[in-house]
Structure 1
Amino acid sequence: MRTPIVLTVAAGLAAAAVAAVLKPEPPQLGPQQTGDADLAATVRAAVDDPEGLRGLAVAVIEGDRIRVAGLGERARGGPVVEPGTPFEIGSIAKPLTGMLLARQVAAGAVGPDDRLAAVLPGVTGPAGEVTLAELASHRAGLPRLALGSAGAMVRTWWAASTAGNAYAGYDVDRVVAAAGSTEPGGDRGTVSYSNFGAALLGQALAARAGVGYPELVRRDVLSPLGMTGTLAATDAGHLPPRRAEGATAAGRSADPWLGAGYAPAGVGIWSTAEDLARLTAAMLAGTAPGADAATPRFDAGDDRRIGYGWFTSRHGDREIVWHNGGTGGFRAYLGFDRAAGRGVVVLGNTTRDVDPIGLRLLDVRGDAADESTGLDGWIGAALALAFTFLGGLSLWSTARGGQDRVTVLSDATWAVVSLGLGHRLGDWSVVPGWIWPLGAALAGAAVVPAVQRWRGLPLVAGAPPWRRWTGAALSAAFAALAVVVIAA
């Protein structure tokens, strides 16, 4: 029986019309602003595309003058960002941990070449032989993360898929125990970024000081600088009030990252543009506790050097000292040019990169300040396109030549589920949202030939029935799991 073309087109258009109402809508930097109006205007000029951003808190430091502005929203449909709005700052905590090392070295409490095992009780095995300086400069040869088991890897994948807390359950004891089963790799001595190494460094310094890491960083760095809006939240009860809410660049809400073990690497660290401006001003003046951490000590490749946690990059004849940060729902950048006496802080409450904004505010031009789609963005774009169209294409193929009803029903289910996965997991700040209704149109159009063929098909055919039913059961199980991912 020939499928009526008019009916097929009508079904596709109807599905597209419904999907157009539900299509992905990535966040967009709004017109709201607080603080320094001139700075807010300068920031907007530095943003080449407001899509994928929701709110920004920005500070510019020039000599003794600090200007701060807030732009956009703290949360979807929520209050405006203010200069004192707390954001997750992620790995900007690593320079703070490096400053703790520099401070303890200056006080004679530790030496940069002290072995980890001699400073952090409980560390055994080859990882205990790495030095504090190697940990602070990502030269210890340790992995980026120490997940420890297949279950931990699955949980981390799940958190990444659902914008959840990737560090749940990683307390200090668990991180220390993981060091015992970790062996430095062959890249020891070269810079290879490691959250695990930074976490071990911070916990070692805290152990030597006889206090927890949150208390140590507050006592030795934050309080002397008057950074009262900066804290390490080790559980949900410690999260700051009136904080920004994180989201992916596609608009999916993200859970805060919490995990005491990885706090020195940037998990659970919240700050404000005002506070980080105080830190930047003190680093420019050389008066911050442990400011020597920013002294470049080791080659990091690509015109970069690294000290204790701080990177120094050359841009033409200029040198920028900097670090950035990223969590499940936030991005941050702090950089300063000692020669020019200028520094910037940029905090954003989505996963869209803010480094280019910071570099433009530092008057760095060229490729370094150009925005580009990173690996995560390309992966998100691929997920958006694949899930949007593959389900409909599979259903169309089955509807035109399927062997049995089980196959048709399975593919019809996945046509819907795939659209949901594309909506939820795709990066729609990279891929235009209007593409999603096209996938819905394809799936909707495929329903017509599927329904037409249904009556003439047996329940199961081809392979032995037990194999077909087993395949159908597995397909249903994976579809159920996908629904959980969509709903999470």
Structure 2
Amino acid sequence: MKQYIILLVMLLSSFVAFPFQENSDNNELPSEVVKSIENRIEEGLTPSIALAIIDSTGIQYFNFGLTATKGKKVNENTIYEIGSISKAFTGILLAQQVLDEELQLEDKINDFLPHNIKIPTKGLKEITFGNLSDHTSGLPRMPDNFKPANPYNPYADYTVEQMYDFISNYKPIRAVGATYEYSNLAQGLLGHLLALNKNSNYEDLVIQTIAAPLGMMDTKITFTKKMLENLALGHAGGKQVENWDIPTLAGAGAIRSSTSDMSKFIAANLGYVKSPIAEAMELSHKVRHHKAGEMSVALGWHIKNGELGDVIWHNGGTGGYRAFSGFVKETGKGVVLLSNSTADIDDIGFHLLDPGTELIAFPSKKDAVEIPESTLERYVGLYELQPKFTITITKEGNQLFGQATGQDRFKIYPENDTTFYLTVVKAKITFQLKNDTVESLTLFQGGQEIKGKKIK
């Protein structure tokens, strides 16, 4: 124990030599970024955005907004859920166990599961640790045997036994390694197996392997008193929502952190600080395949070609939070963005790392036109876009709301009598009428057009 304490002190001292600037003038950011963030807060897309920029000169923090509608100002110690950025941590944990010769990337995971649990596969190839980490395992995005007691905290009571039951009986539709399919299930299973392999649990493994050596004292899954005092409350659709607890699939998205801690994590990935996991971090950055469209995939990380170099990144989202972290080795620059709402912030992170990436121009609710309540009333109803996927349109006063299956409701604003827009994401909804009767709606989002017939 004494040796461990001495090592920790030495590691923490390495951060003292790396320049930290506790607060920076927000005007030091590019003006278009400041305007974009301030507009999002003013429009009610998010209560706050906390940002850190890491480069060879040190770390700068830029903070906008409040922890809640009537909360306190956020700072670099404010706590957010980082969601799927946890997958980058899981990739590093995997890399470290590979370097410690405790397993191999090519090892079959069936050999590490309890003896009575086996995952069926399509074809002869079995799932390996590498497949779990790079999203080529053939496992689906999520298991379908969720029965949450609380739909606002949907993963809290999902058990290891349920996960084992699902993976044992799943009938894969594609061969292992054949294609990229983003899988929270695979990453959650990976975190579980890595913890089993060390006779530990995922949170302790993250703390012992990554957080403690890097001095990330507020990066945990279980809230401490201090973390709760500094918590930014999650929001969706302008309303406060519950935090998510993800015990079984923790490796996919359970971690909470701050920009102060996450900037240390990115600084270590860029090699600005010495750490015992430097080699594991380097291994986690190595490309494993190019099957994800325009992206390459490493161990947990995704890699995007940028004008100034490769952007190694991951984002995250839970029921009331969004997060982005990334870095470019060629420029030595890293970015962390944390927000306490479900509105997208990826564009800001990519723009700061790769200036050729445009910022999203979210429409303003101020641009909405006035239309009669009688016109709004006829759009109220249930629209089926796909089997088991619907959008419900409701009305309160002169405000229309949409709510997709399993998601929070959102406000929609009239552009004209039949076209409405969202402000939380870049999307539009148009209503189609025949003989003055509403027959369907069409959702326009991400270059797609999805039509839904009015069924009620």
Whether the TM-score (by the shorter chain) exceeds 0.5 is yes
Given the alignment of the two structures, is residue 273 of structure 1 paired with residue 273 of structure 2, yes or no? no
Q: Residues 176 and 58 (structure 1 numbering): CA distance in 2 closer, same or farther, change over 3 Å? A: same
Q: Residues 85 and 114 (structure 1 numbering): CA distance in 2 closer, same or farther, change over 3 Å? A: same
Deviations 1:112-143 (A, max 9, x none): 01111211325323169311000000000111
Q: Secondary structure in 2 aligned to 1:351?
A: coil
Q: Residues 219 and 415 (structure 1 numbering): CA distance in 2 closer, same or farther, change over 3 Å? A: closer
Of all paired residues, the percent bearing the same amino acid is 29
CA distance in 2, matches of 1:40, 1:166: 40
- TM-superposed CA distance for 1:360, in Å, is 2.1
CA distance in 2, matches of 1:229, 1:39: 24
2:140 to 140, 143, 154: 143
Deviations 1:292-338 (A, max 9, x none): 11111211333311111011110245211100001111110001010
Q: Which residue of 2 aligns with 1:262?
A: 249
CA contact (8 A) 1:35 1:70 kept: no
Q: Which residue of 2 aligns with 1:218?
A: 207
Provide the aligned length of Structure 1 versus Structure 2. Answer: 360
- Across the aligned residues of Structure 1 and Structure 2, the Cα RMSD in angstroms comes to 3.4
Q: Secondary structure in 1 aligned to 2:256?
A: strand
2:155 to 127, 143, 167: 167
CA contact (8 A) 1:390 1:418 kept: no
Q: Which residue of 1 aligns with 2:437?
A: none
Q: What amino acid is aligned across from residue 75 of structure 1 in structure 2?
A: A
CA distance in 1, matches of 2:400, 2:197: 47
CA contact (8 A) 1:312 1:320 kept: yes
Q: Which residue of 2 aligns with 1:132?
A: 129
Q: What amino acid is aligned across from residue 255 of structure 1 in structure 2?
A: E
Q: Which residue of 1 aligns with 2:191?
A: 202
Given the alignment of the two structures, is residue 99 of structure 1 paired with residue 99 of structure 2, yes or no? no
Q: Residues 202 and 372 (structure 1 numbering): CA distance in 2 closer, same or farther, change over 3 Å? A: farther
Of 315-324 and 348-357, deviating more is: 315-324
- TM-superposed CA distance for 1:62, in Å, is 0.7
Q: Which residue of 2 aligns with 1:295?
A: 286
CA distance in 1, matches of 2:191, 2:200: 11
- For structure 1, the 5+ residue unaligned runs are 1-33, 378-384, 396-413, 439-478, 480-488
Q: What amino acid is aligned across from residue 53 of structure 1 in structure 2?
A: T
CA contact (8 A) 2:376 2:400 kept: no
Structure having the higher strand fraction is 2
- Where do residues 279-358 of structure 1 align in structure 2 (5 Å cutoff)? 279-285=265-271, 287=274, 289=277, 290-291=280-281, 292-316=283-307, 318-358=309-349
Given the alignment of the two structures, is residue 192 of structure 1 paired with residue 161 of structure 2, yes or no? no
Q: Which residue of 1 aligns with 2:56?
A: 63
- TM-superposed CA distance for 1:369, in Å, is 3.3
Q: What amino acid is aligned across from residue 241 of structure 2 in structure 1?
A: A
CA contact (8 A) 1:35 1:69 kept: no
CA distance in 2, matches of 1:45, 1:347: 18
Q: Which residue of 2 aligns with 1:427?
A: 410
Q: Which residue of 1 aligns with 2:117?
A: 123
- TM-superposed CA distance for 1:68, in Å, is 1.4
TM-score (ref. length: structure 1): 0.66
Q: What amino acid is aligned across from residue 196 of structure 2 in structure 1?
A: A
CA distance in 2, matches of 1:96, 1:389: 52
Q: Residues 391 and 45 (structure 1 numbering): CA distance in 2 closer, same or farther, change over 3 Å? A: closer
Deviations 1:438-472 (A, max 9, x none): 9xxxxxxxxxxxxxxxxxxxxxxxxxxxxxxxxxx
Given the alignment of the two structures, is residue 78 of structure 1 paired with residue 65 of structure 2, yes or no? no
CA contact (8 A) 2:399 2:413 kept: no
Q: Which residue of 1 aligns with 2:377?
A: 392
Q: What amino acid is aligned across from residue 126 of structure 2 in structure 1?
A: E
Q: What amino acid is aligned across from residue 25 of structure 2 in structure 1?
A: D
Larger radius of gyration: 1
- TM-superposed CA distance for 1:347, in Å, is 0.5
Q: Residues 74 and 307 (structure 1 numbering): CA distance in 2 closer, same or farther, change over 3 Å? A: same
Q: Residues 175 and 318 (structure 1 numbering): CA distance in 2 closer, same or farther, change over 3 Å? A: same
CA contact (8 A) 1:176 1:200 kept: no
TM-score (ref. length: structure 2): 0.71
- TM-superposed CA distance for 1:344, in Å, is 0.6
